Structure 1
């Protein structure tokens, strides 16, 4: 049943009951998973049907028609009750009394009379007074009972069953709901996630459900919430989010709240005129990032799975392993939603991966530059689409003899934005198809590009293209060899790195790299020679610096190795004499202080 059909069904049920002469109410349960938008569905429904009644009444030409018009919703009394924080039946009744008012979505009609809110609140506070000699407590209970008498012919909505206090028994709630339905001619709405209700309460709810609930309306889609909160986002992109939610069965709007918020934050940093393709790839990468962050463990996927080669392996696998089946099904769904989820690991992919892993503090600046670069120009987008079409033809057995040349020509202009695995895979396919000369030409151009980038900024290139390599290939071997031969080029010394971190409280990717490659001898020289003789460290001592560096936050995963090296250095020094042995053992003991 579609959402509008559910709204129509709910309207029919309530109207039929309210207009009935039997004077017996109804109870309707609105159920669905946590975060799917059950409360939103109810509030939106009540607002829309109420405002339509008011509009219909205004549209009548004759006053007599307005008088004769039988309102169903706009004239009803209404109370919305959150069960969160209510601890007993008396408080629940009191909450209904104090919150019962004319339909909040209807315009205030001065001809309609009700207890004032001030009076109801006063009685609510008065009930807690206890002066037994004069019977104040008893009188307050009488007043509370009198106030409860007004609760009739009303719509009462109970929400937050999942957050209900364990002091409040669900059988009391259901019993009261039954009383409101049968004795007070009320229309009772219960909003709950049946699967999340506490075990004992779940049993009791199931027991009362058959006796109390007349109809259940299940909400299964977050589409209305997505559309409501993404009104200022391109319609096609909203459709993409809705399709993502439906096909992946993500029924928690809080997931999409994060997606929409982050998408808007990034969009604010871009120029006013941004190509649709840019907006699209930003949204795809944000959806991808939060999918990995929130569901990666259960779905057995991470960033490393999302390259063309890896994606194709997953899409083609026939392994009977349950975990592999889950991943295979996920990639099939993602590929059907948008090919860029599984068939494109461009600059956006790399930067968003870094952003989600918080590798670089200036990622937003990088993304801004990226959005204004040639990388996302229409020319590149056309080239990418052309290459995508070629791969689709390849995997669907539709290629001809000119495929190698077309693949080569579509890949060369994209060398600087492609993932190295994808470039290597393209070379492999050209070789497999017998186009050895084209494969060699493409390979030479890739080497030229890598060489140029390494010479311009070794660290930046490695961080963007080779810091998370997943397979062995000649291009990675070339990069590794270059790193080995130019290990210290452009890098600060370990002394400069430690000074920047401990004294200046700052660092850069180059300092992290310097820390990564520092040897035991580098640390020994630092602690015993350089720090003691550098006036910049005059107010700190070598052992204090050592204590700070084994807890550094530039790259915490290095800390255990750094600590082991420093302890080894101290132990070796301790072998010189008994004195140094005791001295070094003392320094080792102080490292964790």
Structure 2
């Protein structure tokens, strides 16, 4: 049912004073409560609500009909505060009205107060108060979350009573995904009570319009079309994505527009995966997703396994995961971003993009000549693929270059495949050590890596030369409280004298953060960690020996002078 029709029916319901029960059903988070509240406020502002008293009641945590009756009474507002949450003032007003309407019950209350306890007074007050619930509008939410002591049939019975005997209009908001067992019987009962049942099911455009409202922004311009592609209609999920997108763009303020757009594209997809695991692809799938490899699975003549997410992501502007995407996905999973690492990766991707003009030809060849045309000849496609891959090698992920190399080889272009490997390694010559470790790239379990590409990566890994200054690396580790394999490999080559010089060059927070980080690396069990542990402890021992106060400072880091001496002697330093 379209949002326009739903809104018209709700506004009709509000404007009519005749007793009626309206049921609005739909999935969790699609905007049932939001839309009802918004339209009620709008109608109230336009003086288009027939009844002048209103109560919003959630059944979450209510365990009896007495609880429900009292909740309706205590949450009733009227007049200018009709759409506002109940307050102590509105509750006091309702008590006064109940007292006026039920003055004959005063003796009952006084007798109860004298014989029983305070709870007896409350129960009596609830009964008297409920006498005043009539000719009013009531919204009952969260029926599926009612306590175990509150049966659905009892709630529906009370709703029917309020409609027939108290001339009330009741709207019932239902999350029909959470009804559980006995759905058929449940709906039979609802249909007996409800005069009208609306199925609240929005399309992506309607959902995003509700979530974003009338506010326009650069973030909305980028994010909203992505939500439409993924067909996300859950407004609560959209709101959370929107909030995360704002935080992400704040972190990336000052970065290139294309990099921010890439980050938002990865975030929308991965945050959806975290928030809606029943409908979205898992984050592990996103990490290993390779649009071009997916296309190749059908080209070898074998029947590819069914991939229910492939068609969805084929239309989404995300073809594989690079270093920036990886940090974004990790942030979506954790609920927060590693801001230092995120800005580092963003700057790195930006610098990489600037090496290649345009940077879109490789993707265009795949999208237009492979996916988007049946008329393109094999020769034209393969030639264009090779040319664009060589031209934009600095921008292409290992997953995508592997797919291209395998395709060239499969169709007899072996020489081109080998030349592409050579061009790719050259274009990536200034990458970090981790880049040339294929374990760091998210190849799917069924995707093989071209043998020659694997060999080229291993050779580059084995011959890698790290020309960074060790002190700069140590300061970077201290600042971001994290390290890479390349950082560990470089620090493992440092002598005790090198560490002594570096430790004494640290200033301020760098001192504790740097020494603590080196200690953590030394105890991590990683390759090279033991060498770092020995050299760093000896360096601290040497510094401690220079003066009593320095020895006391070193003791703060959990390294005593005696322990350091024993360690250095046993290790033969």
Selected match of 1:172 from 150, 154, 170: 154
Aligned partner of 1:237 in structure 2 is 222
Selected match of 1:99 from 75, 78, 84: 75
Aligned partner of 1:197 in structure 2 is 179
Aligned partner of 2:458 in structure 1 is 480
Give the SS at the match of 2:358.
Answer: helix
Shift in Å, 1:74: 6.1
Is 1:226–1:256's contact at 8 Å kept on the other side of the alignment? yes
Partners of 1:7 and 1:468 in 2: how far apart?
Answer: 46
Partners of 1:190 and 1:309 in 2: how far apart?
Answer: 49
Partners of 1:472 and 1:462 in 2: how far apart?
Answer: 13
Aligned partner of 1:120 in structure 2 is 94
Aligned partner of 2:541 in structure 1 is 535
Aligned partner of 1:568 in structure 2 is none
State the Cα deviation string for residues 440-469 of structure 1 (Å, max 9, x = none).
44332213234x225xx424x347995445
Matched, 1:45 2:72: no
Matched, 1:330 2:309: yes
Matched, 1:81 2:57: yes
Selected match of 2:294 from 311, 325, 332: 311
Q: Structure 1 residues 218 and 302 mapped into 2: Cα distance closer, same or farther (>3 Å)?
A: same
Aligned partner of 2:482 in structure 1 is none
Shift in Å, 1:367: 4.5
Matched, 1:226 2:208: yes
Is 1:130–1:137's contact at 8 Å kept on the other side of the alignment? no
Selected match of 2:387 from 409, 434, 437: 409
Partners of 1:296 and 1:145 in 2: how far apart?
Answer: 45
Aligned partner of 2:328 in structure 1 is 352
Is 1:162–1:192's contact at 8 Å kept on the other side of the alignment? yes
Is 1:491–1:514's contact at 8 Å kept on the other side of the alignment? no
Selected match of 2:347 from 356, 369, 377: 369
Shift in Å, 1:240: 2.0
TM-score by length of 1: 0.68
> Which stretch shifts more, 99-108 or 176-185?
99-108
Give the SS at the match of 1:505.
Answer: helix
Give the SS at the match of 1:78.
Answer: strand
Aligned partner of 1:578 in structure 2 is none
Q: Structure 1 residues 196 and 486 mapped into 2: Cα distance closer, same or farther (>3 Å)?
A: same
Is 1:307–1:422's contact at 8 Å kept on the other side of the alignment? yes
Output aligned runs, 1:143-162, within 5 Å. Answer: 144-162=126-144
Matched, 1:492 2:486: no
State the Cα deviation string for residues 514-539 of structure 1 (Å, max 9, x = none).
84325xxx85x899999699727875
State the Cα deviation string for residues 151-200 of structure 1 (Å, max 9, x = none).
22211000122332223233332221111111111111111213313647
Selected match of 1:255 from 237, 240, 261: 237
Give the SS at the match of 1:158.
Answer: strand
Q: Structure 1 residues 140 and 297 mapped into 2: Cα distance closer, same or farther (>3 Å)?
A: closer
Is 1:38–1:219's contact at 8 Å kept on the other side of the alignment? yes
Is 1:351–1:366's contact at 8 Å kept on the other side of the alignment? no
Aligned partner of 1:7 in structure 2 is 7
Please, what is the CA RMSD of the aligned residues?
Answer: 4.8
Is 1:98–1:120's contact at 8 Å kept on the other side of the alignment? yes
**Structure 2 portions without partners, runs of 5+:** 100-105, 467-485, 504-510, 543-553, 565-573
**Structure 1 portions without partners, runs of 5+:** 55-71, 109-114, 546-593
